[in-house]
Amino acid sequence: MIHLPEGPVRRLVGALHRRPYLAFAVAIALSAVMLQAGRSITLKSKIRDLLPESAPSVQAMQVLQERLGSADILVVALMSDDFEKVKPVLPQLAAALEAHPDINEVIYKQDVDLIDRNALTIFPTVEELEDYYEELTETIKAEVKKRMVLLDDDDEEDDERAPGEYAEYTFSWAEHEKDDGLSNLGRTFRRERGAYREYFYNRAYTTIGLEVYPTKSSGDLEFARQILDVVDTITHETLGELLGSVGPGATVSRVVLGGGYRNVLQESDQIKDDIASSVGWSFGLLALVVILWFRSIRAFFCVLLPLAMGVSWTVGLVALTVGYLNLITAFIFAVLLGLGIDFGIHFYGRYREERAAGHDVVEAVVQTWLSCGEASVLAAITTSAAFLALTIADFRGFSQFGGVAAGGVLLCLLAVFWVFTSLVFIFERWVPLKLMGYSVDRTVDAGIARKRFPLGAKLVVVAALVGIAGYVSASQIEFEMDFNRLGAKEKEKHEFQEITQGTTQATSPAVIFADSAEEARSLYDQLEQRTAENPEHPRIKSYEALFALIPEQQKEKARWVKKICRKLKRKVKLFEGDPRDGADELLTHCDPVEFTVDDLPAWVKGRFSDKSGKLGEFIFVSPRGSTNDGEVALAFRDEMLSLKGLDGEPPVVSGKPMIWADVLIAMKTDGLKTTVASLLTVVLLLFFFERSLGGTLLILLPLTMALGLTGGVMAIFGIKLTFFNMLALPTIIGMGVDDGVHLYHRHKELGADSAGYVVKTTGMAAVLTTITTSIGFGSLLLANHYGLNGLGLLSMIGMAAALLVTLLVLPAAMQWADDRARQG
């Protein structure tokens, strides 16, 4: 086992006793420096930031950035009751915005003349046009027949047809549609034509908008905040000059900014609020528990100040190494408060015990270092090793959390040795410790009242059977595949999101990249073949390429359009109401012309051109089903990887489903790998330091049983594994070993039949450390995030199970070992 050499310990304690103020001042100065360094830490809140650079989806995102640039849009929505007054000033507003060096482009209008003129050759198929012509002919015949009947009958009769019968025959906006040629044509037109808008109105038709494309992505939070201020200022100044001030009753009553830049800032601010809330609640509850438990304000300073400094040093460590926090590590400091406080609690509890046993101040600290310090070093090493094992994962959500937690635990222990000791000596100089009625049943020479622990072998056997049952039932645990249950909690949309909704395209399809237009056509043909075989393809919903925007059979379509228009023009007066509106709309598209890619509007070609100006070398494709469904993401990924480029290799595909799929794959592979690595690392370290198989098994007892009990609870209550709550496993491994180490070493120090005394002293410290660690993880329940809530909940379940075994089963096992030793 670990032994701290008594000579150096006494010299270090003596040095701190002689200059406690200097030692404490140096610790404060170091904390200030580290916190200042921490100001440079940035926050990366996107899921893709949890993946390694080598992940295929991350590399695909880099290809997207290189070839297409940032897809982020800043939306400027102008609220007005008179859009006709606003439209003439949009060009000047766009020019004013584009004049700023941080803005690449501003779009306020899309040229749709070509699309409108050729709508009936672009959107419908030849078959749909043929069906419509036949339906139109039949409809006209029926209407003519009706009119003839009315002329022959002098008596007015009620129309026997149900209301709205003719409404089914509308071209573009009837609600009563059937599966007929005209209705199919109308549905096709509305669905396809809706993607080509002249102006950007929101869904409620209360605002008209502009799309602003800044020079940097929304991932740069400082830039995002700056560009929002810049755009808001320019917009208000320009509108003030052209239309008068913005405000109630004015032409523009309000300017609302939205889009990706506003959304990412909102998410960042929400995470920062959650961090502040979790850290604040965690620290406050920890302080309250420590004060009430020890009934001492002194305990608050001696336990919490070293903890705060240890955490501040960890902040500096993150700044000097990783440099940023991701969605998971952002909350490590609240967790670290719960993990790091254990050392201070054990030290303060042991120091108070040594003082109650009759030692003077210096000797009490020396004995605390030699006994509790040795166990704490071993516990810190094993706990850090459990977290450090996570760094072998490629998934950054695991590796960075493990590295920061491992370093933080060791720094918190260092702060206890250094700062705790200094504070004890400072307090003793001013206000000597008063035990307030606290006493222990032991003397300076470690004499205690020995009594058998009432539970023994039978409890160990029963507990072992329960643990085995838990491991067996754990096979029923499933992975969470619904990413809606892992992200931010659904709340009412922010006002700016409600106002700007519908201004821009809501969906972000995946992008298939080709190395040439020829390869893009080959990939498109493969998609066409798959969907032709199954129109309701289970994995592919839609896809779009530049060359596909040029309709086939243009001459044939134009012939049918002219036939339809000739017939409709002659009989249009037969229609009334909705049918007449639809007919009039159709007649505005009766003069199509044949066109090519070169004739397409600039904004359409721009959508399909890369940064170098190459046209048509990528395809937009959308999966069928929710992109937040893990099964959909995995199936879509497999479908995309089954495509073949001209070189026989799968193309590069970038998009949200690909990222989710990589996250799931990493979670399954790295989750198992890191859990096994954590467990093996801890077992090997324990055996190396203890050099005793029996001692190692006793220390591991709370851990092994806690894992089994946790698995059983998860199976019973249907708790699924996620890449968030999987981080609870190394925590349970570290904490389960931590309490086991302290109780076993205390029992070994005191000898046979001391299990009962150990539970009353060290065991109560274990209760307190479990409560405080649970507070640290429990603070995650306050986060506005399902995944972090799950991590906090599962960690608390695991630690409660470990504490139960530590207080009941471990002492029983130690008593059983004492009994067997006497018998042998």
Banded pLDDT at 173 (limits 50, 70, 90): very low
Residue 722 pLDDT: 86
Residue 823 pLDDT: 80
Phi, psi of 435 (to 5 degrees): -75, -15
Residue 31 pLDDT: 96
Residue 444 pLDDT: 52
- Give residue-wise pLDDT tens across range 398-453: 899 999 999 999 999 999 999 999 999 999 999 888 876 666 665 555 566 677 77
Tally of CB atoms within 10 A around 412 = 26
The structure tokens listed for 650 are 């799968």
Percent of the chain with pLDDT over 70: 89
> In the predicted model, is pLDDT for residue 187 greater than 60?
no
Contact present, 302 and 424 (Cβ < 8 Å): yes
- Least confident window among 193-202, 331-340, 623-632, 804-813: 193-202
- Give residue-wise pLDDT tens across range 725-742: 888 887 788 777 888 888
Q: Which of 11-15, 215-219, 567-571, 735-739: highest mean pLDDT?
A: 11-15
Banded pLDDT at 358 (limits 50, 70, 90): confident
Q: What's the pTM value of the predicted model, to 2 decimals?
A: 0.77
* CA–CA dist 110, 119 (Å, integer): 15
* CA–CA dist 27, 306 (Å, integer): 9
> In the predicted model, is pLDDT for residue 504 greater than 60?
yes
Instruction: Of 273, 277, 274, 267, give the one whose Cα is nearest residue 225.
Output: 267
Percent of the chain with pLDDT over 90: 32
- Least confident window among 292-301, 385-394, 571-580: 571-580
Contact present, 709 and 803 (Cβ < 8 Å): no
The arithmetic mean of pLDDT across residues 595-615, rounded, is 85
Which value, to the nearest 10 degrees, does the dihedral of the CA atoms of residues 16, 21, 23, 27 take? 140
The structure tokens listed for 140 are 């006209």
- Least confident window among 173-177, 226-230, 633-637, 780-784: 173-177
The arithmetic mean of pLDDT across residues 334-340, rounded, is 83
Residue 59's Cβ-count burial label (10 Å; 0-12, 13-18, 19+) is middle
- Give residue-wise pLDDT tens across range 629-683: 888 899 999 999 999 999 999 999 998 889 989 988 888 888 888 888 988 998 9
Q: Which of 14-28, 367-381, 699-713: highest mean pLDDT?
A: 14-28
- Give residue-wise pLDDT tens across range 200-231: 888 777 888 899 988 888 778 889 899 999 99
Who contacts 561 (Cβ-Cβ below 8 Å, separation ≥6)? 120, 121, 129, 589, 590, 592
> In the predicted model, is pLDDT for residue 181 greater than 90?
no
> In the predicted model, is pLDDT for residue 169 greater than 60?
no
Residue 413 pLDDT: 95
Q: Which of 129-143, 240-254, 562-576: highest mean pLDDT?
A: 240-254
Q: Which of 569-578, 718-727, 798-807: highest mean pLDDT?
A: 798-807
Residue 505 pLDDT: 58
The arithmetic mean of pLDDT across residues 261-289, rounded, is 85
* CA–CA dist 616, 529 (Å, integer): 20
Three-state SS at 252: strand
Instruction: Of 282, 174, 240, give the one whose Cα is nearest residue 575.
Output: 174
* CA–CA dist 737, 381 (Å, integer): 10
> In the predicted model, is pLDDT for residue 186 greater than 70?
no
* CA–CA dist 697, 389 (Å, integer): 21
Tally of CB atoms within 10 A around 728 = 23
Residue 310 pLDDT: 96
